[in-house]
Structure 1
């Protein structure tokens, strides 16, 4: 079963704070144990063993973000996770499919958060062990020498939105899942709600977050309303739905794309919502 069948809310947990791991699993659908940005260099070795042991206890609900391929911790991170039987890794600052070759026995979430990574997104998604693409705005802005990922209105700047959709399209073209980036303003719950709803409507399979309070907002945004579910089931149950042609329900013309929307809504939400 895909790790994304657990639900859409992925919560980061610092790799040197394993006292928060059980809470993260309890609050979110999937916990991302972070050995990269969340852990200071002098604490990475100690955190590695703790993360490997913790991740092995709940492999279907845990992703481990290891350190980037060009760092001195990468190979030891991979070895420790392999010995622990960890299934899913997140590779930060992914820039080419050759980096995934060293991770062939893992499912890999490739994190496209540099200019090279965004441009390489189609090739990363095509890798056989790539299970999903995720993108990151703040690292991307830092990489290209920018100052801010958002305008004064709180919305992503056009070039950041382009990166977001580029990663989404690259994943979809290869039949892989896509994960929307975190909303870094912890207190901006209105912005989080809007951004999460937008991500769900666009086709992202999940959204990552950095605070437990964000989980409920993400789940609500990704969960279709009862009306939407009922409408999708009505369309799919219509006698003409399997004919391959166009038909009418009330004042609405129903054709192939609308039926596909309905199937996607049901298929993607059935594992984690009550029927």
Structure 2
């Protein structure tokens, strides 16, 4: 299950909290074991050991966010994963934070990598990063971007992203789309703001993100619900597909609306989305 699938809710889990690993697996579609931002410097080694010990029993729905390539922990993170692969054949997806240059991906050419664009340089270079052979998906982050720019907040008083952050989000989506690779939408850091999360998740689905990440188990169901089309949406999609098949292509009118090939592709996308409640609850 290495390929990022449509509609996944991807949950971050701190690497120094192995007591949370099992719960995370039961709640989310995929788990990111985190060695970077959520782990204090003095806990990096312990977190790395905990993750390496957990990976043999974790299955394939795991991503490991290593530390940035400029950090003092990066080499040990990568070496630990290579040693694990040598011993057991297990090689999880790597989430590379603060990705900026293709050389960073070349140094990890023996891994499949999700590129996290969260600096000005990373956003500007997103298309080049997306073209790398071992880049399997793009991810973006607004808080690190604002820090990199010298700002103080990614959102306005209404909870909406500022234009520069929205621009970064769009850039990553377009880069992923051009290279036909999945785009993962960033986390919503206000845990209690479930309305904002629902609104943001719906927008992500509408514009073409494949999946969305989160930092709290309570966000999983909200993200899944955003990707799950309503009965009305599925009915519309089924009608569009049936009508276009009957017309053998071209442009048709359906319920007073023009339908052509781009609308057909949108309808097919709706029909790809999950409709059955996942077995593991949110």
TM range (shorter): over 0.9
> Is 1:99 aligned to residue 115 of structure 2?
no
Q: Give 3-state SS (helix, strand or coil) of 1:195's partner.
A: helix
Q: Distance in 1 between matches of 2:58 and 2:247?
A: 40
- Find the counterpart in structure 1 of residue 156 from structure 2: 151
Cα displacement (A) at 1:55: 2.7
Deviation digits for residues 198-257 of structure 1 (CA, Å, limit 9, x no counterpart): 111111111111111111111111111122123212322336467231122232221000
- Find the counterpart in structure 1 of residue 79 from structure 2: 79
- Find the counterpart in structure 1 of residue 211 from structure 2: 206
- Find the counterpart in structure 2 of residue 54 from structure 1: 54
TM-score by length of 2: 0.91
What pairs with 1:163-242 in structure 2 (closer than 5 Å)? Answer: 163-238=168-243, 240=245
Q: 1:109 to 1:100 in 2, by over 3 A?
A: same
- Find the counterpart in structure 2 of residue 124 from structure 1: 129
Cα displacement (A) at 1:4: 2.2
- State the structure with bigger RCO (CA 8 A, min sep 6), 1 or 2: 2
Q: Mind listing any 5+ residue stretches in structure 1 that lack a counterpart? A: none
Bigger shift: residues 175-184 or 73-82: 73-82
Bigger shift: residues 168-177 or 41-50: 41-50
Q: Mind listing any 5+ residue stretches in structure 2 that lack a counterpart? A: 85-89
Q: Give 3-state SS (helix, strand or coil) of 1:5's partner.
A: coil
- On the 8 A contact 1:55/1:64 being kept in 2, the answer is no
Q: Distance in 2 between matches of 1:44 and 1:91?
A: 16
Q: Give 3-state SS (helix, strand or coil) of 1:4's partner.
A: coil
Cα displacement (A) at 1:267: 2.9
Cα displacement (A) at 1:131: 1.0
Q: How many pairs are equivalent?
A: 274
Q: Distance in 2 between matches of 1:196 and 1:231?
A: 21
Q: 1:161 aligns with which of 163, 166, 176?
A: 166
Q: Distance in 2 between matches of 1:143 and 1:174?
A: 26
- On the 8 A contact 2:123/2:171 being kept in 1, the answer is yes
Cα displacement (A) at 1:104: 1.6
* Cα RMSD (Å): 1.9
